[in-house]
A and B are shown apart, each in its own frame.
Chain A
Amino acid sequence: MNAYNVIFFVALPYAALLMFLVGTIYRYKATKFKFSSLSSQFLETRKLYWGSVPFHWGILFLFFGHLTAFLLPSSILAWNQQPVRLMILEVSAFAGGVVTLFGLIGLFYRRLVDARLRKVTSIIDIVLEALLITEIFLGLWIAFGFRWGSSWFATVLSPYLKSIFTFSPNIDAVVMLPFVIQLHIILAFIIFLIIPFTRLVHVLVYPLSYLWRPYQKVIWYWDRKKVRDPQTSWTMHKPQNN
């Protein structure tokens, strides 16, 4: 266990976790106005379609795939017992990666070539998209070159990640992994680390509650049933407007 391994596989994940939690919560509390997907569709819509749609569906698919493998490794292993099912999983995951990469490169290209978009592109946007492109490219390389990822992820990486989350880090297995895979892991932590400084915070405010809230929304400054009642009008709670 040399110092680099400790830095990258123990210190970095905890730093990422801490930064992610503290950073996003602080940013949400202090600068709520800055929480936005910062859509640029208004300035350019056609290329966005070919970038954003494949990228987002792809990345969500990949994200939930990784999440399942991490949380329920046994389910993946059970699924993979039959070669056909293994192939289905591997091929669809690889295809998902290709679609995501295609979309992301499209998004990146779009930001670089369009004069209007350059006005709404920050350095961190470029850094983020470059990181994501590298990460997905590495992921595809791994899927192609180190088969079968879905199986060894469950046996090698899931226990490692679990050891991180249970605060008893065990890096014996990860330090043995090929460099490409290590880089993929390190980059993932870095992406997590910079979430609070990027537009990725939009993922955290996904508007799921829209599904069960009533369509219309009316807000009163005060409780209207009580405001004309001198007994109660001065004792009510502070309304939730902002």
Chain B
Amino acid sequence: MDVRSQIAMVFHLDKCIGCHTCSIACKNIWTDRKGAEYMWWNNVETKPGTGYPTKWEDQDIYKGGWRKNGGEKISLRGSGKYKGLLNIFHNPYLPVLDDYYEPWTYKYLDLIESPAGGDQPTARPVSLVTGKPIDIKSGPNWDDDLSGTPEYARQDPNLKNLTKAEREAMFQLEKMAMFYLPRICNHCLNPACVASCPSGAIYKRGEDGVVLINQKVCRAWRMCVTACPYKKSYYNWNTGKSEKCILCYPRLEAGHAPACMHSCVGRIRYLGVLLYDADKIEAAASVPEEQLIDGQLDLLLNPFDEDVIRNAKENGIADSTLKAAQTSPVYKFVKEWGLALPLHAEYRTLPMLFYVPPMLPVMASLSTTDDSEQAVKLDPIAKFWDKHHRYDTTSKTIMQTVEQARFPVKYMANLFGTGSEEKLIEVLKKQLAVRVHRRHVTVGDIDADLTNATLNEVKLTPEIADDIYRLTSLAKFDDRFNIPPAHRELAIEMMDFAGDTKGSTGFGFKETPQRGL
């Protein structure tokens, strides 16, 4: 057993309101620079939709991630030792600027400085690359809230194995739904970006698992951009170096939450330590597709287990980190409660960002013919759209509603279940059971027997259901972010004479990061 620690994350999608505050927080701190304007290390997508860069999930185009071809072993789909070095002069799978969007600003000064005349002055958009006026063709979140549209929602690569009828059903006006998918680098356990970098510039930090690109070693071979199936490694066209989310490690080291998480308005984000067994990484990434999620969850170790603790200490993991692992909200969501799933586990990078799948698009309506009983009790305007579709979770057939979802579970399973609906249904049912339980406690219109039966079916106790409810709905800042001390003092003293770093921020460049000749 080779115990390592990882700062992992959970995003609770039911709580995301799609406000993009996270993206802005990140942009203002890290990517508001020449060459990085188009980068959104944190972005929020509307699903169904094509995302950013356009159709990033379609690996037939971008060739990201690992693939299992025939044998036991996995290999990088579009890069790797031989493919990468052969395609080094021109990478055929590289997404280009237009796959993201051309960044622009407006000539605001024209508004003020134009001479008086017959017309209102306008601020024309100008490209941030060329400085010339452009016609804006797309932008970040161009497909925001555009569920149902032919150009965006219906081009979603996750619809690939849905039948035509299923797709049509999804986009009927009265059924149409959407949800938000905030994405950052997953700081994977089997990162494709690291594996694809010919220079060896990308590495995973042993202490906390943050994946970083050493800017001094990157040589613009641009293979990581292709290799990352989530398209979370970006090429800076100005400096000639690739960049990616750094999980705000300077903040983490100082005990602060990453900026996107700190600013999250919906409070959907959780961050904490997971312990995992590094010996099993390769095996877990190589299992058949249906076993990938279980394989990944098996890697995660129980931080209370004595054996694990002993091994962790031998591997130099600090007591404070072990403590954080035992109180980690991520461990609760992912392992204890089994409520959070990785996004696109089939890319085999073992992402360390987990998502609690959203219930709203799934549960928001169900058709029924017999609603007379409800109709007497409930306000018809609030509860009914028409007699066939109603928003209701109090019926006797609570659990079946998952299968009768407004979105086919199949679609959600393509995102979070490597295509199998089973896992997804289980998670949704658990979430639903918690709601039933809380409704029983707070409103009281569901009787105790039905509540207990519902909880039993998904193997939850009322206590656990309350815990889930509390961490989901009431959690305060310190409950959501459980950040172990980074022991940066040790790190710095190992590296340098501590006096040298006195008064400095402890990270960054001594050399001006200027474009090469």
Contacts and interface: CB of A to CB of B under 8 A. Distances in A.
A230 interface: no
B490 A207 contact: no
B199 A207 contact: yes
B206 A219 contact: yes
A219 B214 CA distance: 12
Given A36-B516, A122-B517, A220 B89 contact: no
A38 B515 contact: yes
A75 interface: no
Contacts of B494: 221-222, 236, 238-239
Contacts of B218: 36
A147 interface: no
B377 interface: no
A53 B89 contact: yes
B219 A207 contact: yes
A112 interface: no
Given A35-B219, A221-B491, A198 B130 contact: no
Contacts of B490: 221-222, 227
Interface string B316-351: 111000000000000000000000000000000000
Given A34-B517, A43-B129, A224 B316 contact: yes
A41 B96 contact: yes
A228 B200 contact: no
A1 interface: no
B84 A210 contact: yes
B191 A226 contact: no
Interface string A181-225: 000000000000000011101100101011101011111111111
Interface stretch (A44-52, A133-141, A161-169, A170-178): A44-52
Contacts of A39: 220-222, 235, 240
Contacts of A34: 514-517
B316 A228 contact: yes
B313 interface: yes
Interface string B211-238: 0001111111110000000000001011
Nearest to A197: B517
Given A202-B219, A210-B198, A219-B206, A242 B84 contact: no
Contact of B94 (A45, A115, A227): A45
A207 B195 contact: no
A206 to B, nearest CB: 9
A219 B206 CA distance: 5
B89 A57 contact: yes
B190 interface: yes
Q: Which of B130, B204, B490, B494 has the most CB of A within 10 A?
A: B494
Interface string B237-260: 111110000000000000000000
Given A33-B514, A41-B90, A238-B495, A217 B198 contact: no
Interface in B69-110: 80-81, 84-85, 89-92, 94, 96-97
A2 B514 CA distance: 44
B223 to A, nearest CB: 9
B206 A198 contact: no
Interface in B475-508: 490-491, 494-495
Nearest to A39: B220
Contacts of A239: 494-495
A33 B85 contact: no
Contacts of B392: none
Contacts of A205: 199, 219
B161 interface: no
Contacts of A37: 219-221, 240
A215 B202 CA distance: 11
The B interface, classified by DSSP as helix, strand, loop or mixed, is loop
A202 B219 CA distance: 7
Contacts, number: 176
A123 B216 CA distance: 24
Contacts of A118: 130
A45 B91 CA distance: 9
Interface string B434-478: 000000000000000000000000000000000000000000000
B313 A228 contact: yes
A85 interface: no
B232 to A, nearest CB: 16
B115 interface: no
Nearest to A194: B517
Contact of B216 (A32, A53, A225): A32
Nearest to A215: B195
A200 B202 CA distance: 23
Contacts of B511: 30-33
A215 B194 contact: yes
Nearest to B34: A119
A58 to B, nearest CB: 11
A128 B191 CA distance: 37
A92 interface: no
Contacts of A223: 316
Given A42-B94, A116-B130, A209 B221 contact: no
Contacts of A116: 97, 129-130
Given A39-B222, A227-B316, A218 B517 contact: no
A7 interface: no
Contacts of A124: 517
A45 B220 contact: no
A45 B96 contact: yes
Contact of A226 (B203, B214, B316, B513): B316
Interface in B91-140: 91-92, 94, 96-97, 129-132
Given A211-B81, A218-B206, A36 B241 contact: yes
B203 A219 contact: yes
A217 B203 contact: yes
A226 B316 CA distance: 7
Given A33-B513, A220-B206, A42 B219 contact: no
Contacts of B513: 33
Contacts of A198: 517
Interface of B: 80-81, 84-85, 89-92, 94, 96-97, 129-132, 190-191, 194-195, 197-200, 202-207, 214-222, 235, 237-241, 281, 313-318, 490-491, 494-495, 509, 511-517
18 contacts: A34-B515, A36-B239, A38-B516, A49-B90, A52-B90, A115-B132, A116-B130, A198-B517, A207-B198, A207-B219, A217-B202, A219-B206, A221-B490, A227-B316, A239-B494, A239-B495, A241-B495, A242-B217
Interface of A: 30-45, 48-49, 52-53, 55-57, 115-116, 118-120, 122, 124, 197-199, 201-202, 205, 207, 209-211, 213, 215-228, 236, 238-239, 241-242
